[in-house]
Amino acid sequence: MNHLLLVWVDHHAEYANRLEQFVRTSEYRDKLQIRLFTQLSYASQCLKEADPNRCVLVCSEPFREAMPASAEQFPCLHMYVSEDKNRSSAHAGTLIYRYQPLRSLLKELMLRQTEYRGSPVSIPSGGRSTRILSLYSSVGGYGKSVTALNMAAVLSSQHKSVLYLSLETVSASGLLLQDGKTDSFSRLLYLMKKSPETVAAYVDALKSRHPAYGFDYLMPLPNIHEADELSADDVGTLLAGIRSSGSFDYVVLDLESSVHPRNEHALSLSDTVVWLVADDLYGLNKTRQMKNIAGVEDKTCFVLNKYTGITGNDMESFGVSLYGKLPYIPEWKTITEPAAWVNEPVFTDGVNRLAQSLLEGAEFS
């Protein structure tokens, strides 16, 4: 297999051994090989035999002075690990901080290699048939992001491979997704536009995994203007690349409550659309006007969120035939910890039953 080879030269033997063990026992075993050395001279034969396009030489700081001399002899990417997180020097572009989570360190090394060579490390096809499940509403504040995050967590708990992706201009989901790199989606879009045929590998390199809930995600775009410039074509290229990779069983799309072209295109590419509504005259009227966008009516399931046990409006008169209901959670009127969004058992049970109904035909009301 075409693994990326890490040639790791380090005096810190305990750290290097721990890194090697992590590579061999984690998901990185299918993407990376690692060879450990304590002296740069000991690594020379390995470097001579390696494909420079699929090799990264990583040295600890004591070897920093020797690295420029080795650059001509070994024309692969050269990096060094630093003990100082805030170091700023002429070598900053080839510096990586040692004391970060190993998964983050390896992900960053793969990205540096991608940017250095202009093409990512290829990944084997996962062989999965990917379904796109979109969460949408005609009005903001209906609990779309909370429902999407719960859906991703529920599907992941059922041993499905799930990617959560927010296409909102301003997203609240970042409050829960604090372990990911803030620029992961931005970097993906930049790299995708340079080389759209390699989207799958870029997603694989940039995604983060939620430590508690097990789903993968890309951090929401941090810049409002950048998010606003995300086009329908960008969304199409991105979703096509993700589908082709076969890496995910489900992509959970958290869409913006608007008729922006990117949302319309995302809806048209979705397999299932969960359209949240509320017992609200204004929102129901907007839903009536918007429900035929992108020709997705045949795959749309209207779900009443924040259900209190009674409704005051006749949903059918607005063309809204309810697929089911999700409960109102009074405790969410004031949230101080984002984890409360995915730790509420009554709501989680409702989302679980919704997922079973949508995907397996189980009863849901």
Residue range 128-146, pLDDT digits in tens: 789 999 999 999 999 999 9
**Environment class of 235 (CB within 10 Å of its CB; exposed 0-12, middle 13-18, buried 19+):** buried
Indicate the pairing of strand 216-217 with strand 208-209: antiparallel
pLDDT beyond 80 at 187: yes
Identify the band that residue 296 occupies on the pLDDT scale cut at 50, 70 and 90: confident
Task: Report the first-to-last Cα separation within the chain, whole angstroms.
Answer: 48
- Amino acid making up residue 72: E
Tell me which residue of 153, 168, 144 sits closest to 235, measured CA to CA. 168
**Environment class of 334 (CB within 10 Å of its CB; exposed 0-12, middle 13-18, buried 19+):** exposed
Task: Give the bridge partners for 252, in sequence order.
Answer: 133, 164
Identify the band that residue 305 occupies on the pLDDT scale cut at 50, 70 and 90: very high
Beta carbons within 8 Å of 280's beta carbon, 6+ residues apart = 139, 313
CA–CA separation, 204 vs 184, rounded Å?
A: 11
Do residues 261 and 232 lie in contact, with contact meaning Cβ atoms separated by under 8 Å? Answer: yes
Look at residue 90 in the predicted model and tell me its pLDDT: 42
Which of the given ranges, 117-121, 197-201, 296-300, 349-353, has the highest pLDDT on average?
349-353
Please give the share of the chain, as a percent, with pLDDT higher than 70.
91
Look at residue 114 in the predicted model and tell me its pLDDT: 77
Question: CA 299, 305, 311: angle at the middle one, nearest 5?
Answer: 110
Instruction: Please tell me the least confidently modeled range out of 43-52, 81-90, 120-129, 182-191.
Output: 120-129
Instruction: Kindly state the average pLDDT of the residues 116-123.
Output: 62
Domain limits, CATH 3.40.50.300, in the chain: 131-360
Give the pLDDT confidence of 145-177 residue by residue, as tens digits.
999 999 999 999 999 999 999 998 888 887 788
pLDDT beyond 70 at 125: no
Task: Specify the 3-state DSSP secondary structure of 359.
Answer: helix
- With both helix axes pointing from N to C terminus, report the angle between 261-269 and 232-245 in degrees, rounded to the nearest 10: 30
Look at residue 68 in the predicted model and tell me its pLDDT: 58
H-type alpha helices, 27-101: 44-49, 67-73
Identify the band that residue 217 occupies on the pLDDT scale cut at 50, 70 and 90: very high
pLDDT beyond 70 at 19: yes
CA–CA separation, 53 vs 120, rounded Å?
A: 10
What's the CATH class of domain 131-360?
Answer: alpha beta
**Environment class of 262 (CB within 10 Å of its CB; exposed 0-12, middle 13-18, buried 19+):** buried
Look at residue 118 in the predicted model and tell me its pLDDT: 66
Instruction: Kindly provide the residue ranges of all beta strands, DSSP E only, lying in 76-145, ordered along the sequence.
Output: 77-82, 95-97, 131-137
Indicate the pairing of strand 4-9 with strand 32-37: parallel
CA–CA separation, 170 vs 3, rounded Å?
A: 37
Q: Which fold has domain 4-117?
A: Rossmann fold (3.40.50)
Instruction: Kindly state the average pLDDT of the residues 52-58.
Output: 90
Give the pLDDT confidence of 64-97 residue by residue, as tens digits.
776 655 556 778 888 989 888 776 344 456 888 8
Look at residue 24 in the predicted model and tell me its pLDDT: 92
Q: Which DSSP category does 328 fall into?
A: -
> What is the model's pTM?
0.80
Domain limits, CATH 3.40.50.10850, in the chain: 4-117
Tell me which residue of 35, 182, 195 sits closest to 114, measured CA to CA. 195
Beta carbons within 8 Å of 159's beta carbon, 6+ residues apart = none
Look at residue 89 in the predicted model and tell me its pLDDT: 43
Instruction: Please tell me the least confidently modeled range out of 56-70, 266-280, 306-320.
Output: 56-70
Rg over alpha carbons for the chain, rounded to the nearest Å, is: 23
Look at residue 91 in the predicted model and tell me its pLDDT: 47
CA–CA separation, 216 vs 234, rounded Å?
A: 20
pLDDT beyond 50 at 178: yes
Look at residue 120 in the predicted model and tell me its pLDDT: 56
Task: Specify the 3-state DSSP secondary structure of 274.
Answer: strand
Identify the band that residue 223 occupies on the pLDDT scale cut at 50, 70 and 90: confident
pLDDT beyond 90 at 16: yes
Separation in Å, CA 50 to CA 7, 76, 180, 347: 10, 9, 32, 53
Q: Which DSSP category does 54 fall into?
A: G
Separation in Å, CA 10 to CA 16, 36, 40, 54, 161: 7, 8, 9, 20, 35
Look at residue 122 in the predicted model and tell me its pLDDT: 54
Tell me which residue of 70, 48, 52 sits closest to 5, measured CA to CA. 52
CA–CA separation, 183 vs 206, rounded Å?
A: 9
